[in-house]
Structure formats: structure tokens, C-alpha cells
Amino acid sequence: MATHTEQLTTVEEAPAVRLVGLTRSFDGRTVLDGIDLDLPAGQFTALLGHSGSGKSTLLRAIAGLDHRVTGSGRLAAPERVSVVFQDSRLLPWRRVLDNVLLGTDGKEAAERGRAALAEVGLAGRERAWPNELSGGEAQRAALARSLVREPELLLADEPFGALDALTRIRMHVLLRELWQRHRPSVLLVTHDVDEAIVLADRVLVLDRGRIGLDLTIERPPPRSYRDPLPGGPSLFERSRELGGEYRERLLTALGVTAHQEHAEHQEDHQ
């Protein structure tokens, strides 16, 4: 215990999140089975796993949202944590700007809220009601709400799951840009292998309650990400090329064989 604390202070960059033997179970069924994990500050991590593998459970534990859940283990997370949910979760009775400002204080808060909305491309929509926004716009407003608190850790649980493919690509570019500008640690839960490779520097696969695969994604220096125009296809294309090998390894870790995937593609094209 003592050595542990020492480590945290002496290591040059202390991890933003540290999980030690994290266990969670529901009705006697163990979902997380002693997870040890460090998320370095400023890292963009993606978490993959089958449906029901416990991704949301892990994320909720880190967010401190798992009240009345049995479990053990130690968990250290930063103070300023933002969460982006699969649904935008905007309060329908507050205008967009007031939604973004939920839980913030002070005079400059409104200014920061406007700036955050402008950053996600929603300048001028401050006075709109949430049900006047499209799905993609609502999710961007939710991103603005998470940014305005200047989080040290951004947790996102399938934030683009409900969006169409085109909007999703644009959101990928936006999220990556926002991350580069603000540098929070990010933990992104997704079930989309390609999304994980495009966005993250490190991909974890959750399998039977443990981290089954911990994959670091090597990338060209960030500079080349800015070279293509925002929203241009090259970011996506390049990452796809690079990702071919990672993709294979991740799919194998998820238990999808090349044969199965091939069959699925054939079905898609019929």
C-alpha cells in the first residue's frame, strides 16, 4: 500500500485512472473479474467487447455511477470526469445553451458554454430546444456539455451508436480534434472495431471479465492528421490501411474468425 502511493507520486506522469483488482457482480454473476488497469493521462483509449461483456459496467464504475452494485477492488479516478452517453440526454425543458451549462457556475460559464457550442459547430443554436435538434446535433450538444467542464477524464459509452454512418465519421473527426485540443484522458466504449482503430491510441478488449487484449495503435505523428481537411476522407482511409493488421488481431480477440467475417460481408452485399 505504501509503496503503491509512492509509485503514484514518483512516476513522472501519474495515470489518470488506476484500477486494482476491480470486481463487479450482479446476482452472484461476476461481470468484472479483478481488472488491473492504468489509463495514462491524456491517452485516448477504446474499450471493445461483446454485448454483455461488462463494458458499460466498467465505465459506470469509473464514473462512480454504480451505486448498490456488489464488488471490490480499488479505483482512482480524477475529480473532473465527464460522461457522454449513447443518447444525448439533453433535458427537453432547457434550451441547448442551458443544457450545456448544466451544473456549471459563474459569470464566465455562459461564455465558455457558447465557445463549446461553437467548437462542436452549433454556434447560433444556443436558444434552440433539444427536440428541435437532429440526432447528430443533439450528440454534438452533449459533447459540448461534457467539454465545458474541462474534464480530465472523458468517458463515452457508445456515443455514436445511434448515429448514421456519415454523421458518425464526422463525429469521429470532431472528437479526435477536440481531444487533440483539450487533451483529456478518454475512455471510449464501442462495439465497432474500426471506430476503435480510427480514434484510439490504445484498444482494450474486455473478455470474460478481464482485459483480454491490450493493443497500442502506432500512428503517424499527429501532424498528418491535420493535413487533410477536417471531414475529408483521407483520415478515415489512411487509418483503414494502417488498421488492417490491428483489425485482424482485435477480431481474433473478440472471437470472430476471418471465415465468419467473410460470410457476414457476403450477406451484406446480397
Ligand X SMILES: Nc1ncnc2c1ncn2[C@@H]1O[C@H](COP(=O)(O)OP(=O)(O)OP(=O)(O)O)[C@@H](O)[C@H]1O
Task: Assess contact for 32 and 57: CB atoms under 8 A.
Answer: yes
Q: Return the residue of 52, 103, 106, 221 that touches ligand X, per CB under 6 A.
A: 52
Rounded to a whole number of angstroms, the minimum distance from the CB of residue 9 to ligand X is: 33
Rounded to a whole number of angstroms, the minimum distance from the CB of residue 59 to ligand X is: 8
Rounded to a whole number of angstroms, the minimum distance from the CB of residue 143 to ligand X is: 20
Sequence-distant (≥ 6) Cβ neighbours of residue 202 within 8 angstroms: 43, 44, 45, 46, 214, 215, 216, 217
Nearest to 19 by CA among 45, 28, 29: 45
Rounded to a whole number of angstroms, the minimum distance from the CB of residue 98 to other proteins is: 9
Q: Measured between alpha carbons, how far apart are the two ends of the chain, in Å?
A: 58
Binding mask 61-100 vs other proteins (x if CB under 8 A, - otherwise)?
A: --xxx---------------xxx-x-x-x-xxxx------
Cell 473478455, residue located: 207
Rounded to a whole number of angstroms, the minimum distance from the CB of residue 71 to ligand X is: 12
CA angle, 220 as apex, 171 and 198 as ends, to 5°?
Answer: 30
User: By C-beta, is 146 or 190 nearer to other proteins?
Assistant: 146
Q: Return the residue of 56, 82, 99, 139 that touches ligand X, per CB under 6 A.
A: 56
| Binding to Mg ion, residues 41-60 (CB under 5 A) | 56
User: By C-beta, is 9 or 93 nearer to other proteins?
Assistant: 93
Nearest to 33 by CA among 22, 44, 41: 22
Task: Assess contact for 210 and 35: CB atoms under 8 A.
Answer: yes
| Binding to other proteins, residues 99-158 (CB under 8 A) | 102-103, 129, 131, 145, 149
Tell me phi and psi for residue 180, to 5 degrees: -65, -35
Q: Would you tell me which residues interact with ligand X (CB under 6 A)?
A: 26, 31, 49, 51-57, 191
